[in-house]
């Protein structure tokens, strides 16, 4: 029986599966085929919800006595874009100059491939683990994240699964393998702001009400003053306006409404509820003040719609998990990793409600880019890091 001990072969098999969200593309089937020879039990639940695509998920478990470690991640990938812009076809897993090319190579099929290889090497060299390992893999991380990790955690929890710690294999390193472990993330919430006016001819503004002026006033109130200066563990919170639109093709028509979308990344100075309350307060005050402008008798008429439920800020404080992983990284790479809370969101925001969780994977410089690729030497080092971690974590 051949065990999946080579991370490059594992990754090539996964890259060749065109698993662009929400398509499974064969990737979870390929993963299941790697895990079965190791003795993993495999479940493949599909979750659904009105208005969203059905999503394939995978939960695999290698049972044992002792602590339970979860490895979490996703097999779905973002679209490759124009195939002709790639040096090699995006699902070919071509190897050139010590790198393997393909969509998902670093985000995050590479992390999955290395973890599977690490488990295979450990089992092949040492026999059964002194504990439990599970892989919680979704096909919905790059999409709306509705029928993926959230429901997979609930499903597994309802079956009695409990975990002591989790690693998410996202690409966490900015420049070199071993640079960084993510031990937390800022929260995130998005909103859409609509200002209503009165449509009219641009030459007769007294007969209309231009919503662009009101939108500019409200946006200014959202941006200034800054939300905070940062905290001990987190960088400053920031609000970014991501689009402004009036849907108006005519240059001589005052539009009836103006819309802006924004996203906030907030630190532990805030909760989802308090940051949204702050935004409402700023808008209300700015809208009311605007009626003091000469010629304006009423506040700015606006609506605010919040997007998906907020992703809450979190910080992992688990010395065994963080310390064991840090020691493993330093032993293999010679680098002491920086403990960071930077970057965007990941599915760790859901896992934190079930057990302590950190993130560590490949170098992320090419994720979501044309010619996404992973270094073969990094794949081998990451496998050795995971293998060392498994031995120490279950010791």
Annotated binding-site positions for Zn(2+): 74, 107, 142, 170, 368
Choosing from 76, 140, 359, 372, which is the catalytic residue?
Answer: 76
What length is written for the chain? Answer: 395
Greatest Cα pair distance, the chain, in angstroms, is 83
Task: Please confirm whether the linkage preceding 188 is cis (ω < 30° from 0).
Answer: no
Binding residue numbers: 74, 107, 142, 170, 368
Instruction: Using CB atoms within 10 Å of the CB of residue 149, give its burial: 0 to 12 exposed, 13 to 18 middle, 19+ buried.
Output: buried
Decide if 220 is catalytic: no
Task: Please confirm whether the linkage preceding 225 is cis (ω < 30° from 0).
Answer: yes
- Residues 189 and 275 sit within 8 Å (Cβ to Cβ): yes
Decide if 359 is catalytic: no
DSSP three-state, residue 46: strand
Interatomic CA distance for residues 327 and 337, integer angstroms: 9
φ and ψ at residue 292, rounded to 5 degrees: -80, -10
Interatomic CA distance for residues 368 and 103, integer angstroms: 8
DSSP three-state, residue 374: strand
Cα angle 353-355-359, degrees, rounded to a multiple of 5: 95
SS3 content of the chain, % helix, strand, coil (to 5): 30, 25, 45
Interatomic CA distance for residues 34 and 14, integer angstroms: 10
Choosing from 141, 268, 347, 372, which is the catalytic residue?
Answer: 141
DSSP three-state, residue 248: coil
DSSP one-letter string for 216-265: HHHHHHHHSS-S----SSSPPPEEEEEEEE-----TTEE-SEEEEEEEEE
Active-site annotation, residues: 76, 141
């Amino acid at each position: 029986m051949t065990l999946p001990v080579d991370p490059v072969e594992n990754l090539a098999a996964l890259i060749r599966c065109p698993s662009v969200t929400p398509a499974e593309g064969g990737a979870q089937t390929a993963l299941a085929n790697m895990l079965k020879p190791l003795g993993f039990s495999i479940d493949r639940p599909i979750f659904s919800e009105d208005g969203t695509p059905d999503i394939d998920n995978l939960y695999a478990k290698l049972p044992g006595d002792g602590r339970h470690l979860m490895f979490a991640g996703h097999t779905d990938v973002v679209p490759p874009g124009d195939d002709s812009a790639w040096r090699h076809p995006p699902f070919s897993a071509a190897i050139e100059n010590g790198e393997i090319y393909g969509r998902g190579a670093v985000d995050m099929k590479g992390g999955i491939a290395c973890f599977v290889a690490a488990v295979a090497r450990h089992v092949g060299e040492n026999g059964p683990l002194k504990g439990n390992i599970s892989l919680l893999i979704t096909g919905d991380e790059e999409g709306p994240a509705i029928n993926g990790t959230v429901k997979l955690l609930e499903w597994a929890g309802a079956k009695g699964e409990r975990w002591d710690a989790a690693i998410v294999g996202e690409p966490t390193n900015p420049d070199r393998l071993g640079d960084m472990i993510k031990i937390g993330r800022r929260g995130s919430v998005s909103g859409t702001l609509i200002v209503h006016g009165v449509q009219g001819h641009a030459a007769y503004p007294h007969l209309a009400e231009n919503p662009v002026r009101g939108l500019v006033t409200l946006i200014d109130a959202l941006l200034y003053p800054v939300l905070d200066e940062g905290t001990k563990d987190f960088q400053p919170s920031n609000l970014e306006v991501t689009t402004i639109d009036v849907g108006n093709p005519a240059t001589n028509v005052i539009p009836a409404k103006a819309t802006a979308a924004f996203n906030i990344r907030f630190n532990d100075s805030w909760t989802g509820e308090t940051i949204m309350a702050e935004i409402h307060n700023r808008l209300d005050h700015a809208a009311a003040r605007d009626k003091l402008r000469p010629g304006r008798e009423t506040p700015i008429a606006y609506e605010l719609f919040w997007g998906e439920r907020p992703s809450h800020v979190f910080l992992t404080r688990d010395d065994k998990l963080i310390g064991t992983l840090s020691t493993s990284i330093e032993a293999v790479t010679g680098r002491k990793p920086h403990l960071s809370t930077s970057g965007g969101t990941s599915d760790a925001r859901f896992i934190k409600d079930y057990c302590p969780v950190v993130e560590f994977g490949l170098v992320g410089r090419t994720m979501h880019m044309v010619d996404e690729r992973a270094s073969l030497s990094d794949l081998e080092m990451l496998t050795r890091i995971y293998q060392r971690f498994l031995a120490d974590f279950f010791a």
